[in-house]
Structure 1
């Protein structure tokens, strides 16, 4: 024992702390565990540079913190508590000598403080190593997502350290060393199983169907589609989605006008109103655009049942000219970029910037040819002016008015080979410039892609908040009952609740919350979640009108409830062990 301790009549807190540090650093297991903690941080800091996406980085980091906290840190705290409050009491000499020169409270607090500092120091080192290595290896570019989640990890881990230290000290003062070890082993196992009830519930809900009554007709909607629709509302309203300003604009316009998927594009007048309501206020629509003139085209097929076309005059192989005037057309991508740069209204400017960025993203995704990939979206925003005409140069300049259907069949026949007979089509050898240049409205396709992305989700949302649930049909009652049981269990599932505080504050890579480009309308909100961690999942809430409450996405157990409860419990155990330490026989 250090003889300098005897020089003090009352040993200072600082000296006690240094004395404990000297003791613990002679403990081999302590050194090994700390080395592993530091090594794991260095390894993750290095490999963090090589993840292709922010999603993969986030998923990997969440597994890393599970290993860091639930394995290494848990064992480190258990070992430190055993060392100070079992081994050092058992060997008697140290504590007997010290107890004659210092109050037991000061002795306890110095030991407790050291254990907490060791834990927090490990979290701080992890925070520094991971961010510094990622920053250095990433050509000195700061990864904001990594900085955010490691900062939350530092704060959350520090709080967890205090809770665990207090709890394990409490166990070792109440139970034997063997019993404490068994309890800690069980708790370590439960930590990985805490989220299983929620996982089972989520799996069961995938097969559930909810019925609503719409215009006296029952409508079936998959529960997962409703949940995704409400999730989209949550993230759009919070601005936590890619192209957030553009998304907010489209979402709000669709909800305000109450567009529904079943009649979204079936009526030309509805399409015209939607174009004027959603896209024209952004300034990207040109009214009465320039006349499109294309000469010396050849007819490939002629419709036989169209009353506007005299088949005795109009024949395949005739040379024609087209004078096309549209009521509306979209600006091109370069004009959109110029408009975004020059726009003075900040809200519109941010929306236009998002639209420009999305346009470039889509063009990159469909690098082969956007026209070919999304040819089916061409006709919805095509409104042909009555002055448009086809001139038959082979038959004394006989004319017929252009119909939208003519443009559609010409367009699709050239690109996909559809409508090979019985419709008006052009010889592909003469139609190339007309289709790929004159009818290539890139922003038309891009806006229609966006509309298809959102209409499914906003339509499900409107259906469930505007129309009554059929409680005696489908799985709504089953859903309500199972959710009540899960929520009740969650109040006592402290491990899950504790992890929820971390996931709630660390969040997700919101820039990756976006629709899959290969799908018509699919956004995956679950791919960033970790199977073993708890999340603040909302429960759909039925209001007094038997409709789903429009703000159900806010109906979840607030994570800080768990934290407050655990901190109160931890404070009680802390006071208890101080009292217990005062009474314990050290001789």
Structure 2
């Protein structure tokens, strides 16, 4: 509880005490109401009794309607022609629950990923399951094939020494926080691919991301092949002037 309280203070300070505006979408999950024309509805009071066509007096509310009102009150412009009296004060006052926003931030950006890490770093993998055997077989096949794909190894050396491997990461246009590393990869280039390495207890090793063939091996092999081919060409054609 103390950690949650301190985290709330940090978030509130970071967003200049305006978390509701900055993270308004996190409150959508807390919209609950009974649907139906007799339970949740809008009632139009200023109906013209002399109108030729009878106007509809009540409108059934949907969750999207509530989102629309909420978005308008939090982020809307005062002169856009759509306004309910007292709505803005209600949303920004009585409907402003900072604890729920803080909980939403924790749930969306922290709990899921920290829980996955905790499970992977403490739970042994059942090697007797068929999906693990299938994964291990597939990884070994790809690993063996990569040894002979020197062209891919050349591009792996290139991508290993630039991009997000050296903190040159960026946010996707539609992302407000999470960094999608996979989307930053060029589909026409090769990247280092590691396999899951287990420790003696069957738990994923902490250094498993280093379990891949180092790209500079490919460069060394290509360089050796180039030198050997050059020497063979010299002895074969007896030509040293390169003309």
**Fold-level match, TM-score > 0.5?**
yes
State the distance in 1 between where 2:220 and 2:229 align: 14
3-state DSSP class of the match of 2:183? coil
**Cα offset, 1:463, TM superposition:** 0.9
Residue number in structure 2 paired with 1:375: 27
Which of these residues, 170, 176, 200, is aligned with residue 511 of structure 1? 170
In the alignment, which residue of structure 2 is the partner of 1:458? 114
SS, match of residue 4 in structure 2: helix
Aligned residues: 190
TM-score of the superposed pair, with normalisation by structure 2: 0.61
In structure 2, C-alpha distance between the alignment counterparts of 1:506 and 1:332, rounded to whole Å: 32
1:284 is the counterpart of 2:10: yes
User: Residues 453 and 484 from structure 1, CA distance in 2 versus in 1: closer, same or farther, beyond 3 angstroms?
Assistant: same
Are residues 474 and 515 of structure 1, via their aligned partners in 2, closer, same or farther at CA, if it must alter by over 3 Å? farther
8 Å contact kept, 1:332–1:442: no
Q: Which has the higher contact order (CA 8 A, sep 6+)?
A: 1
1:531 Cα shift? 2.9
Residue 558 of structure 1, CA deviation: 1.1
Partner of 2:46: none
DSSP-derived class of the 1:536 partner: coil
> What is the alpha-carbon distance in structure 2 between the residues aligned to residue 528 and residue 332 of structure 1?
28
Partner of 1:311: none
In 2 relative to 1, CA 569–483 (structure 1 residues): closer, same or farther, beyond 3 Å?
same
1:374 aligns to what SS in structure 2?
helix
Shift of 1:574: 2.2
On the 8 A contact 1:515/1:524 being kept in 2, the answer is no
Aligned to 1:106: none
Q: Which moved more, 1:446-455 or 1:497-506?
A: 446-455
How far is the alpha carbon of 1:480 from its aligned partner?
1.0
1:409-448 alignment, distance < 5 Å = 432-437=88-93, 439-440=95-96, 445=101, 448=104
1:443 and 1:507 mapped to 2: Cα distance? Answer: 38
The whole-number CA distance in structure 2 between the counterparts of 1:503 and 1:497 is 10
Gap regions ≥5 residues in structure 2: 32-62, 68-83
| Aligned partner of residue 471 in structure 1, secondary structure | coil
Following superposition, the deviation at residue 452 of structure 1 comes to 1.4
Q: Which has the higher helix share?
A: 1
Contact 1:538–1:556 (CA under 8 A) maintained in structure 2: yes
Query: Following TM superposition, by how much is the alpha carbon of 1:374 offset from its aligned partner in structure 2, in angstroms?
Result: 2.5
The CA deviation at 1:528 is: 2.7
For 1:436 and 1:460, the matched residues in 2 are separated by 35
Does the 8 Å CA contact 2:27/2:104 hold for their aligned counterparts?
no
CA-to-partner distance for each residue in 1:366-420, whole Å, 9 max, x for gaps? 7xxx1xx3325679xxxxxxxxxxxxxxxxxxxxxxxxxxxxxxxx9xx56xxxx
Alpha-carbon separation, structure 2, partners of 1:515 and 1:275: 28
Distance 1:478 1:560 in 2: 29
CA contact (8 A) 1:453 1:515 kept: no
Q: Tell me the residue number matched to 2:186.
A: 530
Write out aligned runs for 1:206-221 (5 A): none
Partners of 2:96 and 2:118 in 1: how far apart? 34
Distance 1:377 1:446 in 2: 13
Aligned positions of 1:459-478 closer than 5 A: 459-478=115-134
What is the distance in 1 between the residues matched to 2:174 and 2:207? 23
SS at match of 2:221: helix
TM-score relative to the length of structure 1: 0.28
Taking a change above 3 Å as real, the CA distance of residues 333 and 465 of structure 1, as seen in their structure-2 partners, is closer
Q: Determine the structure 1 residue equivalent to 2:231.
A: 575
What is the CA distance between 1:274 and its match in structure 2? 4.0
Conserved in 2, the CA contact under 8 Å of 1:538 and 1:552?
yes
Q: Structure 2: how far apart are the matches of 1:443 and 1:375?
A: 11
d(CA) in 1 for partners of 2:227, 2:189: 25
Question: Residues 333, 378 of structure 1: CA spacing in aligned structure 2 closer, same or farther, 3 A cutoff?
Answer: farther
Q: Distance in 2 between matches of 1:378 and 1:540?
A: 39
Larger CA Rg, structure 1 vs 2? 1
Q: Which has the higher strand share?
A: 1
Partner deviation per Cα, 1:320-342 (whole Å, 9 max, x = no partner): xxxxxxxxxx4483369xxxxxx
Looking at structure 1, the residues matched to 16 and 109 of structure 2 have their Cα atoms a distance apart, in angstroms, of 24
**1:322-401 to 2 correspondence within 5 Å?**
330-331=12-13, 333-334=15-16, 363=22, 370=24, 373-376=25-28
